[in-house]
Amino acid sequence: MTKKCVRAIFPGSFDPITNGHLDVIERGMKLFDELIIAVGRSPVKNQLFTPEERVEMIDELIREKKMTNISVESFEGLTVGYATGKKADVILRGLRSLTDVQYEFQLAMTNRAVAGIETIFIMTSEQYGFTSSTLIREVASLGGDLSKLIPNNVYERIKKHLKE
């Protein structure tokens, strides 16, 4: 009997990537043979970094942490279309709160109905349950200390970006 290789995508804006995202990635990589971090291009969100900068920052983290079964790419369009094109078996999503559950439940049901792709949820560790990229951008713009909420390479880039 041959073992099936399970490919998952972890989509998000990752603007910027947070320690909460990393928590989900590190735990997710233990569940799947291959994990693709899919950096979405959102025309709606007020973005701090370009998709290319976000991919670069995440690539740095993957190399630093020696994560071998993970890749990072940017994509445009519907997540389910990207997942189908990558022949992904599942979509990985992190959950922080009951608000996330309600929204993510609707997305998961829609993705299964549209493309037959399943969604697997991982609860974020307690210390990251309040963290979001939106909150990080707001705290950064007001000069707050983010050193415990985001990876160091990302924090340094934010400080440099805000000086410009």
Task: Calculate the CA 78 to chain-centre distance.
Answer: 15
Domain range for 151 is 7-163
* Within a domain: 157: yes
* Within a domain: 2: no
CATH of the domain at 114: 3.40.50.620
Two structure tokens written together for 163: 């000086």
Active-site pick, 21, 93, 137, 157: 21
Active-site pick, 13, 54, 93, 96: 96
Q: Is 7 part of the annotated catalytic residue set?
A: no
Q: How many domains does the chain have?
A: 1
Active-site pick, 45, 148, 159, 161: 45
Two structure tokens written together for 18: 């947070």
- What pLDDT band is residue 120 in, cutting at 50, 70 and 90? very high
Cα angle, residue 127 at apex, residues 69 and 73 outer, rounded to 5°: 30
Q: Is 141 part of the annotated catalytic residue set?
A: no
* Within a domain: 112: yes
Give Dmax (Cα) for the chain: 57
pLDDT of residue 44: 67
Q: Is 161 part of the annotated catalytic residue set?
A: no
pLDDT of residue 22: 94
What average pLDDT does the structure give for the chain? 91
Whole-model pTM: value is 0.92
- What pLDDT band is residue 158 in, cutting at 50, 70 and 90? very high
Active-site pick, 13, 54, 133, 157: 133
Q: Is the pLDDT of residue 33 over 70?
A: yes
Q: Where are the alpha helices (DSSP H) in 65-97?
A: 79-85
pLDDT of residue 100: 83
Two structure tokens written together for 49: 């970094």
